Amino acid sequence: MKTLDNLLSEGVKGRRVLVRADLNVPLDGDRITDDGRIRAVLPTVTALRDAGAKVVVCSHLGRPKGAPDPKYTLAPVAARLGELLGSPVAFATDTVGDSATATVAALADGAVALLENLRFNAGETSKDEAARAAFAAQLAALADVYVDDAFGATHRKHASVFDVARLLPAYVGGLVLREVEVLRRVTSDDVERPYIVVLGGSKVSDKLAVIESLLPRVDQLLIGGGMCFTFLAAKGYGVGTSLLQPEMVDTCVDLLQRAGDRIVLPTDVVVADAFSAEANTRTVDADAIPDGWMGLDIGPKSIAAFAAALAGAKTVVWNGPPGVFELAPFAAGTRAVAEAITKVDGLTVVGGGDSAAAVRQLGFGDGGFSHISTGGGASLEFLEGKTLPGVAALES
Q: Which of 52, 110, 174, 377 is catalytic?
A: 377
Instruction: Give the pLDDT confidence score for residue 265 in this predicted structure.
Output: 98
Q: Cα–Cα distance between 278 and 275 in angstroms, integer? A: 9
DSSP 4-72: HHHHHHH--TT-EEEEEE-----EETTEES--HHHHHHHHHHHHHHHTT-EEEEE---S---SS--GGG
Q: Which of 333, 353, 375, 390 is catalytic?
A: 353
- Helices 300-311 & 332-342 angle (0-180, nearest 10): 10
376 has catalytic annotation? no
Instruction: Give the pLDDT confidence score for residue 282 in this predicted structure.
Output: 98
**C-beta of residue 154 within 8 angstroms of C-beta of residue 378:** yes
Q: What is the DSSP letter of 313?
A: -
Q: Categorize the per-residue pLDDT at 393 as very low, low, confident or very high, splitting at 50, 70 and 90.
A: very high
DSSP 165-219: GGTS-EEE-HHHHHHHHHHHHHTSTT--SSEEEEE-SS-HHHHHHHHHHHTTT-S
Contacts of 198 (CB under 8 A, 6+ apart): 222, 224, 306, 310, 316, 317, 318, 319, 320, 322, 337, 341
Q: Cα–Cα distance between 147 and 145 in angstroms, integer? A: 7
> Is the per-residue pLDDT at 366 higher than 70?
no
pLDDT per residue over 109-158, tens digit each?
999 999 999 999 999 999 999 999 999 999 999 999 999 999 999 999 99
**C-beta of residue 393 within 8 angstroms of C-beta of residue 165:** yes
Q: Which of 39, 166, 193, 203 is catalytic?
A: 203
**3-state DSSP assignment of residue 267:** coil
> Is the per-residue pLDDT at 99 higher than 80?
yes
238 has catalytic annotation? no
Q: Cα–Cα distance between 65 and 60 in angstroms, integer? A: 12
Find the range with the poorest average confidence among 3-12, 27-36, 135-144, 160-169.
Answer: 27-36
Please name which of 34, 376, 8 lies closest in space to residue 199, comparing C-alpha atoms. Answer: 376
The pTM assigned to this predicted structure is 0.87
Q: Cα–Cα distance between 351 and 182 in angstroms, integer? A: 11
37 has catalytic annotation? yes
Q: Which of 37, 49, 54, 335 is catalytic?
A: 37
**C-beta of residue 319 within 8 angstroms of C-beta of residue 164:** no
**C-beta of residue 185 within 8 angstroms of C-beta of residue 195:** no
353 has catalytic annotation? yes
